[in-house]
Amino acid sequence: MPELPDVERYRKTAKKCKISDIDRIVVKGTRFVKSSENELNNKFKGKNFKKIIRHGKYLFLQADKSISLVLHFGMTGDLHFLKKDEEEPKYSRCSINFKNNYVLHILSRRKLGSVELTKDAGSFIKENDLGPDALKISRKDFISLLKTKKSMIKTALTNQSDIAGIGNVYADEILYQAKIHPQKSTGQLSEKETDAVYNELHKVLKTAIEANADVSKLPETFLLPSRSKGRHCPGCKGKLESTKIAGRTTFYCPSCQKSPE
DNA sequence: CATAATGTTTAAGA
DNA sequence: GTCTTAAACATTAT
């Protein structure tokens, strides 16, 4: 479930590996891991990850000044930090073994996403044209950003070049909480509505982070769990509607989220 | 067995 | 240049 809150949890997991030196990196999913096992071992063996940085949906493991690994989790990624003698998790595509006998497993069921070498977070963000992290964009920048856009609000929220970290399900959640129809265009939003989106963007992401991105721990007022069970609005209990926006399934409540004209 | 899945990139057309 | 849509990637869970 790797959107910003999930990757924030991975960041906390990855922090645990900072204390030990890297012993050996094992590559199991070629194509998912963009560098060869040899190259990775040459670069990282004997070093340790000094800095762990999340930006949007990306996680950076920084060893030396100009040597980092950047992880992207696609749609089905996960990160496990286990003892060496524990059973290897299914779909582990790359494991980083540490000298203290712990292993960081990078998993990906569908092999979307990637593990690759990069210089550092800053240069990667620039090269890949990532926008500011969703938790760090200022209200002012958010408002002026929306003014330049001509797309549907949901599309704008999920465009990683504009704002990094919001994906399909949290975009739905933010718009549900803000009571705004996902198909409204940014130009159709009143000042009040833009404000509400900004406020809910923060509230939703922070709440999800506090819940450790565990769907079962989200408040009952959240839409997210209803995607898979019931498909009823937690507020009015009416049936949710779904449509495709930018090729992705979008859920919303037709009575709580006002339709665009 | 068929369908959909929390993401991104690329190509083509408006 | 902006926006939209569809397809591709690889694989499983329902």
At residue A1, the pLDDT reads 62
Return residues with beta carbons within 7 A of strand B. Answer: A 1-3, 6, 56-57, 72, 74-76, 110, 112-113, 128, 158, 160, 167-169, 227, 247-249
CA A248 / C1′ C8 distance in Å: 15
In angstroms, how far is C2 C1' from A22 CA?
46
User: What is the Cα–Cα distance from A47 to A22, expressed in whole angstroms?
Assistant: 6
Q: What order do you get walking across the sheet with A22-27 strand by strand?
A: A22-27, A92-98, A102-108, A77-83
pLDDT of residue A29: 86
Q: Return the beta strands (E) in chain A as ranges.
A: 22-27, 51-55, 58-64, 67-72, 77-83, 92-98, 102-108, 114-118, 241-245, 248-252
3-state DSSP assignment of residue A157: helix
Q: In this complex, which residue's CA is closest to the C1' atom of nucleotide C7?
A: A247
Query: What is the phi/psi pair of residue A53, to 5°?
Result: -130, 135
Which nucleotides of chain B does any protein CB come within 7 A of?
A: 4-9
What integer pLDDT is reported at residue A53 of this predicted model? Answer: 98
Burial of A8 from C-beta contacts in 10 A (0-12 / 13-18 / 19+): buried
Q: Could you give the percent of chain A with pLDDT greater than 90?
A: 95
* Mean pLDDT, residues A65-83: 96
User: Are the C-beta atoms of residues A109 and A76 closer than 8 Å to each other?
Assistant: yes
The more confident residue out of A1 and A144 is A144
Other residues' Cβ atoms within 10 Å of the Cβ of residue A82? 16
Query: With 80 as the cut, is the pLDDT of residue A261 above it?
Result: no
Q: How far is the CA of A211 from the C1' of B1 (A)?
A: 37
pLDDT band at A47 (very low <50, low <70, confident <90, very high): very high
- What is the CB-side half-sphere exposure of residue A218 using CA atoms within 13 A? 21
- Residue A115 pLDDT more than 70? yes
Q: How far is A157 from A185, CA to CA, in rounded Å?
A: 11
Residue carrying the six token digits 């199991």: A28
If DSSP codes are grouped into helix, strand and coil, which group holds residue A247?
coil
CA distance linking residue A200 with residue A221, whole number of Å = 13
Residue nearest to nucleotide C13 (CA to C1'): A109
pLDDT at residue A260, as a whole number:
81
Q: Report CA(A203)–C1'(B8) in Å, whole number.
A: 26
Closest by CA position to A35, among listed A79, A71, A75, A84 = A71
* DSSP 8-class letter at A217: G
The structure's pTM equals 0.96
Separation of CA A119 and C1' B9 in angstroms?
22
